[in-house]
């Protein structure tokens, strides 16, 4: 019987340490699985040691383990307990269009609007016995498969699907500004067996890089975290963990999970998609707030395995060719148009510092305030209440702070660009209603508020400036604190202005 799931999206007891999957109160999703008391690891001889309530089992190779009754019985494709929704995350603007519990697939998220390009770093974790080693060519093959599937490239397995206009590339510059292949390698038996603090040690800035780790994935084929879950975005846990035997084209685990679709599936989770069967059939009249939060995926009561000629539940055909179901790699070939819109909304508003647009956006201006001085970045401050402060840093050492009602403005040229986007991180200390951090644009007469932050925790923001900001030799923006209360201040950091 083939019932090996394709991924694992599960919770962990501690966000700081990645360990064997454990059960947490489930907020969304329902695979029908009971609590898992399962451990899987590889010993120094290369044997796979798997234990559950029925006993301990030894398998001589990963391919034999993946075909085992243990793997299917415990549904080791997925230990799908979700982290709770992002508590206190603001839903100003379009972030609410792709929230934890709802979807609003507006036309502005149509793939035709613009292309998103995402830099990737792959961290390869190996055992001292040599297992886990993956060649650069195999890594590139996995990047190729992601692009085939997310772009529905003609002549590939992903051709029948929706072109999401999202592509991926191995990073060429590391966080320190040095040239890189976008691939790192480490030999550590604990990390290889998916234990220890490897993410906090190895991760590159998770706001700016898509971090992928290959190891044993605790016996699953892979797992990721929905960014709309609390404590994910900006945390070292963010990214995808993929079992090395299922990574890349013709990967060593063998059929039916050797064509790179584990990563396609997990990347769907990373970009905000749920399983097609999550929460069962849901409601036809409330399909954007029930089930998988998508209306154009047929309702489905549970996962489909293998590659059946037909499968139905919830009074309709199951969407078993969808990347977010559990069928075999070569049985999957599509995201739907509304899934494409949800994942694009997630990129734009939950991961705004991750991408460039158009496959060739130009950075017009960027400032992380690491100089410790506003003037170095050409900012004009209103008064001494505008400070660079260590406690206002989102990343790095320094960030920008505005006390009470004050502002800092910046002018730059956008000549040659037809649209302008501003990415930044913002927060309001001691937040209470009516206390805001405003982003404003000067239209030549008045200051126009284009975005605001009303949150006591850091939020990543991305906003397109009005049309008048484009092709403008003196485009001016400002950040403004709007509150008179003593002890309240607004902070912003990692400002990046992009032009297309």
Active site residues: 266
d(Cα 276, Cα 410) in Å, to the nearest integer?
45
Do 263 and 222 meet the contact criterion of CB atoms below 8 Å apart? yes
* 145 φ, ψ (degrees, to nearest 5): -65, -40
Distance CA 427, CA 167 (A): 30
Q: Is 167 exposed, middle or buried (0-12, 13-18, 19+ CB in 10 A)?
A: middle
As a dihedral over the C-alpha atoms of residue 95, residue 91, residue 351, residue 302, rounded to 10 degrees, the angle is: -70
* CB-count burial class (<10 Å; 0-12, 13-18, 19+) for 370: middle
Crossing angle for the helix pair 136-150 and 261-270, nearest 10 degrees? Answer: 60
Q: Residue 181 corresponds to which tokens in the numbers above? A: 């292949």
Please say whether the dihedral angle defined by the alpha carbons of residues 439, 442, 446 and 450, taken in this order, is positive or negative: negative
Rounded Cα distance, 363 and 496, in Å: 7
CA distance 427 to 248: 40
The sign of the torsion formed by the CA atoms of 369, 417, 465, 293 equals: negative
How far apart, in whole angstroms, are the C-alpha atoms of residue 108 and residue 102?
Answer: 17
- The SS3 call for residue 410 is strand
């Amino acid at each position: 019987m083939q019932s090996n799931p394709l991924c694992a999206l599960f919770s962990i007891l501690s966000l700081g340490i990645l360990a064997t999957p454990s059960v947490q109160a489930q907020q969304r999703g329902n695979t029908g699985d009971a609590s898992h008391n399962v451990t899987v690891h590889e010993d120094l001889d290369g044997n796979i040691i798997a234990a559950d309530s029925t006993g301990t089992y030894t398998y001589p190779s990963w391919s034999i383990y993946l075909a085992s009754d243990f793997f299917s019985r415990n549904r080791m494709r997925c230990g799908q307990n979700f982290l709770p929704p992002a508590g206190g995350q603001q839903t100003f603007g379009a972030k609410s269009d792709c929230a934890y519990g709802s979807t609003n697939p507006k036309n502005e998220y149509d793939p035709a609007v613009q292309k998103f390009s995402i830099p990737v770093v792959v961290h390869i974790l190996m055992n001292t016995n040599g297992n886990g080693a993956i060649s650069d060519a195999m890594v590139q093959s996995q990047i190729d498969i992601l692009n085939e599937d997310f772009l529905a490239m003609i002549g590939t397995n992903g051709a029948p699907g929706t072109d999401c206009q999202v592509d991926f590339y191995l990073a060429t510059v590391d966080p320190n500004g040095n040239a890189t292949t976008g691939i790192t390698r480490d030999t550590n038996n604990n990390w290889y067996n998916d234990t220890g603090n490897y993410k906090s040690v190895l991760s590159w800035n998770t706001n700016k890089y898509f971090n992928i780790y290959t190891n044993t994935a605790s016996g699953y084929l892979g797992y990721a975290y929905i960014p709309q879950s609390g404590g994910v975005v900006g945390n070292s846990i963010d990214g995808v963990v993929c079992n090395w035997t299922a990574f890349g084209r013709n990967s060593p685990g063998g059929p039916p999970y050797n064509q790179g679709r584990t990563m396609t599936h997990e990347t769907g989770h990373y970009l905000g998609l749920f399983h097609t069967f999550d929460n069962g059939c849901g409601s036809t009249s409330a399909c954007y707030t029930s089930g998988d939060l998508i209306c154009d995926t047929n309702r489905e009561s549970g996962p489909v395995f293998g590659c059946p000629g037909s499968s139905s539940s919830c009074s309709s055909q199951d969407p078993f060719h969808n990347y977010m179901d559990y069928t075999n790699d070569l049985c999957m070939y599509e995201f739907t148009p509304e899934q494409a819109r949800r994942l694009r909304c997630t990129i734009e508003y939950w991961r705004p510092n991750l991408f460039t647009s158009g496959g060739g956006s130009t950075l017009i201006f960027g400032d992380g305030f690491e100089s410790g001085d506003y003037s170095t970045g050409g900012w004009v401050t209103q008064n001494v209440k505008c400070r660079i402060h260590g406690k206002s840093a989102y990343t790095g050492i320094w960030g920008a702070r505005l006390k009470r009602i004050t502002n800092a403005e910046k002018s730059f040229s956008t000549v040659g660009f037809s649209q302008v986007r501003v990415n930044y991180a913002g927060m309001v200390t001691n937040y209470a209603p009516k206390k805001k951090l405003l982003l404003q644009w000067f239209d030549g007469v008045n200051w126009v508020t284009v975005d605001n932050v009303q949150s006591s925790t850091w939020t990543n923001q991305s906003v397109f400036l009005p049309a008048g900001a484009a092709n403008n030799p003196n485009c001016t923006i400002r950040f403004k604190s709007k509150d008179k209360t003593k002890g309240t201040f607004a902070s912003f950091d990692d400002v990046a202005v992009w032009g297309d």
